[in-house]
Amino acid sequence: MAVRLNSKTDRIVHSWAGGSTEEVLLLPEGSTWENKDFKIRVSSAVCFGGSSLFSDFTGFTRHISPRKGVLQMEHVLQSGEKKSVHLEPYEIDIFQGAWKTTSEGAYEDFNLLTDNSFSGAVQAVKGSAEFSFDPKKQYLAGFFCTADTVFHCSGVSLEGSLSLHEGDFLYFLSEDTDTAESASISPRKPDAPCGYWITVRHRN
């Protein structure tokens, strides 16, 4: 089956001084956080408050969005320039993993990391939405659920509907199928934020 479901109960959780991080997905399969041999990482973190220093991810591009709370960050670029970023829930920042980044406050976030061989995109989903996955153009596409949602799919992998709950991650990989998939999302609460749709493709 081309569609895969990763639920919150399947996760490895890493604890650190200011919070904890759930590993939602690491690719390629078999790669680990400890060995730092992954090329794609999807994760969700909880920061308890105070000041936190982000891990160094030189060679990666990072997408981050607070799904609960406000995220205040300061980036120190490799040139030494400083950049302040203020994110309200479901707003997204994209930055280089090599930058020295610190955050302030208590929040829960969603993260996508891609190394230089891939290009990623993250879209916050609010209300009903439609998406597609083309394995000829995309390596990975998936939906990270932050509120009870019904996921409708029309394709060879899943024909029908699936109820998703907070923390669920449903995704497609190009290595599983050569057929395009169409999907739509309907949150239980109309027009409410319900998650993130991500896509990752190989760089040309």
Q: pLDDT of 15-39, one tens digit each? A: 988 899 999 999 999 999 888 899 9
Specify the amino acid at residue 68: K
Specify the amino acid at residue 7: S
DSSP string, 29-81: TT--TTTT--SEEEEEEEEEEEEEEPPP-TTEEEEEEEEEE-EEEEEE-TTS-
Q: pLDDT of 135-193, one tens digit each? A: 999 999 999 999 999 988 876 556 678 899 999 999 999 988 888 888 899 988 888 99
In Å, how far from its chain's centre is CA 89? 14
Specify the amino acid at residue 59: G
What domains lie within the chain, and their CATH numbers? 3-115 (2.60.120.10), 118-202 (2.60.120.10)
Dig out the tokens for 83 from the structure: 């950049």
In Å, how far from its chain's centre is CA 61? 12
Phi, psi dihedral angles at 128 (to 5 degrees): -70, 145
* 103/86 Cα distance (integer angstroms): 10
* 47/141 Cα distance (integer angstroms): 26
What's the mean pLDDT in 79-98? 97
Q: Are 57 and 41 in contact (CB under 8 A)?
A: no
Q: Average pLDDT of the chain? A: 92
Q: pLDDT of 114-141, one tens digit each? A: 999 999 999 999 999 999 899 999 999 9
